[in-house]
Structure 1
Amino acid sequence: MKGTISDVTGLRVLETNFTSGKNKRRFSKPDGKPDFAKLAKLPTVLVAEYDQHPEVPVQIGFLQPPEFKVLDRSVYIPVFNASVLQAHPDLFGIQEGESRDTHWAVKDGSLFQKLNTLFKSNPELLQPPTATFNEVNPHKIAVMMPFKTEFHDAYDAIKQACQDEGFESVRVDELHDPVDISQQVLDLIRSSKYVIVDTSGHNPNVFFETGFAVGIGKKYIPLTSTPELRMPFDIQNTRFIKYDNDQNGRNKLKADLSKTLQTLKQ
């Protein structure tokens, strides 16, 4: 799978230059059109065209019907750069020209087995980067959440709970360094002791940031004010702090978060 999520239901699905005839027949309807119900059951590699941009992130998950514009991303499979795909084209069945051609292809073999092989032979992909990133601040907590106005008061409750337990909470919009904001988010997660993630409304950036935090071994505290929304498959059994986004609910959020932070300090 390549390209942005909004591209996936376009015409470039199961083209025979990148998908074998056998797989094309297997995942097509009798009329020759792609069978998206079957395709949705396959684990998917989502990455933008990376021929000239090997630094773009690679995500693993399942595309969600009916529109296939949302990737139910695995937060336990770390995000890695497309340079890894460039270095291992045979492992992933990547053919000449695929890295510069947006499409949805089906490859032979088990993706999870391929990833297992990759991570066993490249264990550094599962470890925190050792480059020039800030050392971990034991008193700092990164907060990943929607920036919408409706969550400002919830963030105030989070900040107060962190402060009460001796931590400084930091959200990326509070930083003003003249650097790339995407890199700033990752650096903030790396340099923090813990990460709080508020998945309210299923913000895709928050899920991406949760996956990155898990991938580098950070302990994270998940919150949500929309528990009725179905969580991604690999965090469905995680214990969330659930809150109502009103005054009483935010007071309870502050109390529950304080108790969780107290537990982590023990």
Structure 2
Amino acid sequence: MLMSGLDAAFDQSPWELEKGRFGEYTDDDLRERFLSLDGKAIQELLSLPALFWHETGCKKAGRIGWLDEIKHAGRNLQAKFAFDPFIPEIPFDMMLELAPSLDIRMGKRELEGHRTHWAVKNVDLIAFLDERRIIDRRRLSPHAPYLIPKTAAREPMQVSPKVFETPVQPVDRRLVAVMMPFTAGFDRVYSAISQAAESAGLHAQKANDIWEHSVLIQEIFSLIYRSHVVVCDFSGKNPNVFYEAGIAHMLGRHVVPITQHHDDVPFDLRHHRYIQYLNNGEGLATLASQLSPRLVTLAAS
């Protein structure tokens, strides 16, 4: 939802807003999901329907449409937009009535209706308006991104390794596989990861602690295969760890990247969220505290 206190704010595209006002009046989980405004977040925002409204003092109708482009413009965000010509304006009085159901906080102690901002709401806007018979979802603009039908579910992809033997052991949903360089400099890092896993009710393991097969890479594959989560430390740009991360992604495991240096994360992997840490006492304690809740979330998925 894009809200402005200017009568003419949405008379023409684009619209600009201070970056600090993006994500206001947005639930915490959605703020975390979109606040980075990186490429992935922007693409998801562009796929959503948008509600354009004005602060209540303007007494203006609401409009429904979509965003064509979101750009960073210095301290502002710039959004190019379009209205759906198949959806009529929603009168001001009706907007006031619909506001609570749209999670627009208009109570006596809430000032959302008096604040220029950009919020993301956990509401299926098109389905809601269709249920209220305010719109007919069968008649929407053919250019609307929210009109694009969802693709049919695909058959699960079958993975048949030619190089590795598939382990006979089942996947252990409590197992966290750790992929990192085999050097003593990472011993304390592994201890911090193990501590985070234990705090999450899980257990960590790395391949060089196992000796069940004569070929080390087979041990690594088996460990990744049996795990539910794989923590990959990209520190030092170790090519083996990159290879192991690729195996984990291909097997559909949850991958949690960590690194001591931002530049050690390859460009092709930077769209994945990662944890950056310092390899000292305080830094490793912080790593454990940040990693543990992530593991709790993934363990339940």
TM-score (norm 1): 0.50
Distance 1:242-1:161 versus aligned 2 partners, 3 A rule: same
Matches within 5 A, 1:79-228: 123-125=157-159, 131-228=166-263
DSSP-derived class of the 1:190 partner: helix
Percent of paired sites with the same residue: 33
Letter in 1 for 2:281: Q
- Deviation digits for residues 150-193 of structure 1 (CA, Å, limit 9, x no counterpart): 11111110111101111110101111224211111001100011
Higher relative contact order (CA 8 A, sep 6+): 1
DSSP-derived class of the 1:202 partner: coil
DSSP-derived class of the 1:196 partner: strand
Give how far 1:253 is off.
0.3
Residue 280 of structure 2 corresponds to residue 241 of structure 1: no
Q: Unpaired runs of 5+ in structure 1?
A: 1-119
Residue 280 of structure 2 corresponds to residue 262 of structure 1: no
- Deviation digits for residues 175-217 of structure 1 (CA, Å, limit 9, x no counterpart): 1224211111001100011111011011000000000000111
Contact 1:134 1:190 in 2 (8 A): no
Paired with 2:254 and 2:166, the residues of 1 have a C-alpha distance of: 21
> Which structure 1 residue ranges, 4+ long, deviate > 6 Å from structure 2?
none
RMSD: 2.4
Paired with 2:294 and 2:193, the residues of 1 have a C-alpha distance of: 12
Distance 1:126-1:223 versus aligned 2 partners, 3 A rule: farther
Contact 1:140 1:170 in 2 (8 A): yes
Paired with 1:227 and 1:188, the residues of 2 have a C-alpha distance of: 27
Distance 1:233-1:248 versus aligned 2 partners, 3 A rule: same
TM-score (norm 2): 0.45
Give how far 1:134 is off.
1.7
Distance 1:187-1:249 versus aligned 2 partners, 3 A rule: same
- If you compute each CA radius of gyration, which structure gives the higher value, 1 or 2? 2
